[in-house]
Amino acid sequence: MALELFGHPFSSYTWKALIPLYENGTAFVFRNVDPSEPDNHAELARRWPLAKFPLLVDGDAQVFESTAIIEYLDAAHPGAVRFVPGDALASVDVRMLDRLFDNYVMTPMQKIVGDALRPADARDALGVEQARATLDRAYEWLETRMADREWAAEGGFSLADCAAAPSLFYADWVHPIGDRFPALAAYRGRLLARPSVTRCIDEARPYRHYFPLGAPDRD
């Protein structure tokens, strides 16, 4: 039975789960939960009452949350690219960077996007200001981190980069990295040029009208 991944092509966390599947050429069926395909969303809700995506289905096994999905793929469907090092200490660094991108880049980015979806009289200006300050601090730390690195952690492309690609892609839309952080901007460029990430970007293009702040005419 083929793997199934429930998700949306424009979803940052869906990208995070798609990237390792594309990296290793793992066979799977994509179940797009866009409103244009309501049966897929209904099946997602039947399998996972919170109806959050992505959700990976592998026979009787169901795995939710993108980090857990990547760890599951590494263990149950390994390929040429391994996303978590076998060395315990090296794996700590990869997992630390994974949490950094999710919690301190993706989360504040989504705060800014989410605020744009609110009615004008329910906007959270202070929350958005705090989210932008968090992104600035994360960018500053990552600028130093990426000054002499190709990928986020030693040993090559990893779980950390799967988290970095969608978070930096969208974060730069809402709070531009610009010329202030050249090493981080160059890292983002390498991520976007990687075929697995480029594929996610291209598959998401038809849905750019969903972006509430207006998708920039680039990337």
Report the CATH number that the domain containing residue 184 is assigned in CATH: 1.20.1050.10
- Which residue is associated with the tokens 């990869």? 94
Q: List, in order, residues 6 or more apart from 29 with CB less than 8 Å away.
A: 2, 3, 4, 5
User: Which run of H or of E encompasses 55?
Assistant: strand 55-58
Would residue 102 count as lying in a domain?
Answer: yes
Strand order in the sheet with 61-64: 28-32, 3-7, 55-58, 61-64
Would residue 202 count as lying in a domain?
Answer: no
Looking at the structure, tell me whether residues 56 and 149 fall in a common domain: no
Residue 52's pLDDT is 96
Looking at the structure, tell me whether residues 101 and 179 fall in a common domain: yes
Which CATH number belongs to the domain containing residue 8 in this structure?
3.40.30.10
Looking at the structure, tell me whether residues 104 and 176 fall in a common domain: yes
Looking at the structure, tell me whether residues 141 and 114 fall in a common domain: yes
Q: In the chain, what is the greatest distance between 2 CA atoms, to the nearest angstrom?
A: 51
Would you state the torsion angle of the CA atoms of residues 58, 92, 145, 134, taken in this order, to the nearest 10 degrees? 70
Give the number of domains in the chain. Answer: 2
Residue 2's pLDDT is 87
Looking at the structure, tell me whether residues 122 and 50 fall in a common domain: no
Would residue 209 count as lying in a domain?
Answer: no
pLDDT digits (tens, 9 = 90+) for 109-136: 999 999 999 999 999 999 999 999 999 9
CA nearest 171: which of 113, 123, 92?
113
User: Which run of H or of E encompasses 63?
Assistant: strand 61-64
Looking at the structure, tell me whether residues 119 and 26 fall in a common domain: no
Looking at the structure, tell me whether residues 123 and 42 fall in a common domain: no
Which of 46, 76, 106 is where one domain is finished?
76
Angle of CA points 14, 15, 19, to nearest 5° = 125
Looking at the structure, tell me whether residues 95 and 70 fall in a common domain: no
Q: How many CB atoms are located within 10 Å of the residue 183 CB?
A: 16
Would residue 99 count as lying in a domain?
Answer: yes
* Contact between residue 162 and residue 22 where contact means Cβ atoms under 8 Å apart: no
Would residue 208 count as lying in a domain?
Answer: no
Looking at the structure, tell me whether residues 62 and 102 fall in a common domain: no
Would residue 45 count as lying in a domain?
Answer: yes
Looking at the structure, tell me whether residues 187 and 92 fall in a common domain: yes
pLDDT digits (tens, 9 = 90+) for 58-83: 999 999 999 999 999 999 999 999 99
Looking at the structure, tell me whether residues 127 and 169 fall in a common domain: yes
What residue ranges of the chain have pLDDT lower than 70?
A: 1
Residue 44's pLDDT is 98
Tell me: cis bond preceding 49? Omega within 30 of 0 counts: no
**Rounded-to-integer distance, Cα 212 and Cα 214, Å:** 5
Would residue 171 count as lying in a domain?
Answer: yes
H-assigned helices in 66-194: 66-76, 88-101, 107-116, 125-145, 159-174, 182-193
Would residue 206 count as lying in a domain?
Answer: no
Which of 15, 41, 76 is where one domain is finished?
76
Domain range for 126: 88-194
pTM over 0.85: yes
